[in-house]
Amino acid sequence: MFWRKLRFRKPLNAITGYASQPQWQAKRLKFEDVAAKIPDGSRVYIGSTSATAHCTLNAIVTGSQNLHDINILQFIPGGELPHLEQNVSRIRTTAFYAFDRAAKNIQEGITDYMPVSSARLHRLIKEKRIPIEVAIIKVTPPDEDGLCSLGTGVDFSREAVDAADIVIAEICENMPWTEGNSLIKADKINWWTENHSPLPDKDELFPWLGDFSLDKSVLDKIAANILFEIPDGATLKFNLTAMTDDLIPYLRKRKNLGLHTDLLTDKVLELIEEGVINNSQKNVHQGKTIVCHAYGSSHLYKAIHRNPAIEFHPSYYVNRLDRIAVNNNLIAIITGLKVDLTGQVAVDSVGNRFYAGVGSSDDSIRAAGYSLNGKPIVALPSLSIKGNSNILFSLPEGSGVTITRVDVHYVITEYGTAFLFGKSIRERCLALIDIAHPKFRESLLAQAKKSYLVHSAQPGHSFKSVYPKNWECVHTTEQQKQVLVRPIKAVDEDLLRDFFHKLSDQNVYMRYFSKLRSLPQKILKQYSDIDYSRDMALVALSPPETAKHEIVAIGQWIMDDSDGIPEIAFQVRDDWQGQGLGAFFIERLFQLGKECGIKQFKADVLVDNEAMNSAFEKTGIHFQRNSEFGVYHYLFDL
């Protein structure tokens, strides 16, 4: 009743008998006395976001007139940050994420930015290559055994406490007591202050995040492309950005997901509470959500309080490559800022401007690459907020390459997915241009040709048209095999060549009326790089996955300029014949032809090609047929 009258929630942690012990009370500080405990020249570690000891930090800044040459180290700045606003001549900050005010200060040379991966920062602290004299942490009150929980901010706080000469704790009854590896002994704390205000929520920490929200139609398309790559039972790992948080609700379409990642937010918690994330298929920490940091609403803070199903561990443990990669089907979703045509990804900076941090991006991508059936995904919108292309011929000078062209696998925009791992520079260029914004594709292709990354004979027809995503479908054959049927892409040129060489001589002869040994490169480009209206081709891909598929059938029409009537044809690989793919392709092509306003199709088929003739005769479409020199000439009226 007392708490309700004061309009406060009851605190999460009760004060125990340990807190009244003389040796503990002797360490108590008033906020105005904090600055006096910090030696000049100290490097001061302070927790991040919801685990920032904001009142203690404010006391340091307020009392900084008596301090000299102080360097504050903070992984993720968030909330009220007086050290970035006041007395910057006496207090310099080193941030590992360039967010909001920190980014502005970095650009002005007032604040330092340190690019380092989450998994390796602990070693720099442990080996004192980043010395820490003072650690300021926010913790729960000590329990009866003299243990405090680091709560929402385990990340690097344990290493900082072990490395520091002086540890100052801000005791908060509203800090959740988290499970996992989050406890420290109270006797490691040299001094403590007290502030029992509720922990800040997301809007208080990052009020500017809403300015970076994507248009919902763009987000929907990116999410759909990502979901196609995520199987049920996958374990997820993602970096700390507004976009990844916005993508999380779309995961409701999957089940039995696992989570092993840096950050827990309200949107993630919703999926845990709904059972979408249950960690049942993980190889390590089965049944447990593993994180190192959390921020969000009061509901989130209450939900993680003494919750054994959600464990908090130090960042190096959560992000160790060998630890993450043990999970099969690990899906790493990393949002990039820019990608060049060779596959280099900038995550923290563009040119000489810093916008974010490295975090765990590099290790997450590598871990997913090593995971059995893992998928490292880089996601980004095709356009920046200013309307510039996020897919570039080359990264601007000064941009940091966080994910190298060696490690990149999947790059996803709202226009599709480019699979780059094990692909040549030519193939990468074509794949990335294909998912760039349409208004930049021609210029990207021209730059690639000029630099000889792509053959000068590449037509570029498909890059002048919007890829008809709505024509994609998953088809089940008569033998219950699934194939992805979609319009062909310029990047399919090598798949088309491989398809041809897996055909029998008889199959080739029936389609081309001659014994071809190969398809000339000009023909391969003509068949694969099309405009999706005047010429059209559908391919059946097996298995229906982005990375491992091969073409097993193709159906196409090619415009005949002599009479303006497109010629239609299809071809099925020998080992896939007899499963109804030919009939499916004819029906599908006729349907798409009608949508494109085509009135007639024609086809030339050898009289001896009984399978193709039978398929055409069973279409139900009115046709005329005559024969000449052993060839049937069909004319279909749509």
The residue ranking higher by pLDDT, 65 or 130, is 130
Query: Measured between alpha carbons, how far is 218 from 413 in angstroms, rounded to an integer?
Result: 9
- The pTM assigned to this predicted structure is 0.91
Predicted confidence band at 393 (pLDDT cuts at 50, 70, 90)? very high
pLDDT at 9: 61
Give one DSSP letter per residue of 484-515, joined into a string.
EEEE--GGGHHHHHHHHHTS-HHHHHHHHSS-
Predicted confidence band at 299 (pLDDT cuts at 50, 70, 90)? very high
pLDDT at 619: 86
Q: Closest Cα partner for 358 from 588, 23, 97, 552?
A: 97
Q: Are 350 and 90 in contact (CB under 8 A)?
A: no
**Which residue type does 167 have?**
V
Query: What sign results for the dihedral spanned by CA atoms 595, 596, 597, 598?
Result: negative
3-state class of 194 per DSSP?
Answer: strand
pLDDT at 90: 83
Query: What sign results for the dihedral spanned by CA atoms 240, 241, 247, 249?
Result: positive
**Mean pLDDT value of segment 356-368:** 94
DSSP letter assigned to residue 146: S
List of residues 6+ apart from 13 with CB closer than 8 A: 140, 141, 173, 174, 175, 177
Predicted confidence band at 620 (pLDDT cuts at 50, 70, 90)? confident
Angle (nearest 5°) at CA 580 between 577 and 581: 75
What pLDDT digit, counting tens, does each position of 161-217 carry?
A: 999 999 999 999 999 999 999 999 999 999 999 999 999 999 899 887 776 778 999
What pLDDT digit, counting tens, does each position of 230-289 carry?
A: 999 999 999 888 899 999 999 999 999 999 999 999 999 999 999 999 999 999 999 999
Q: Quick check: bond before 543 cis, omega within 30?
A: yes
Average pLDDT across the chain, whole number: 93
pLDDT greater than 80 at residue 55: yes
The residue ranking higher by pLDDT, 208 or 451, is 451
Predicted confidence band at 6 (pLDDT cuts at 50, 70, 90)? very low
- Cross-strand bridge partners of residue 625: 634
Domains of the chain: 2-200 (3.40.1080.10), 209-456 (3.40.1080.20), 469-637 (3.40.630.30)
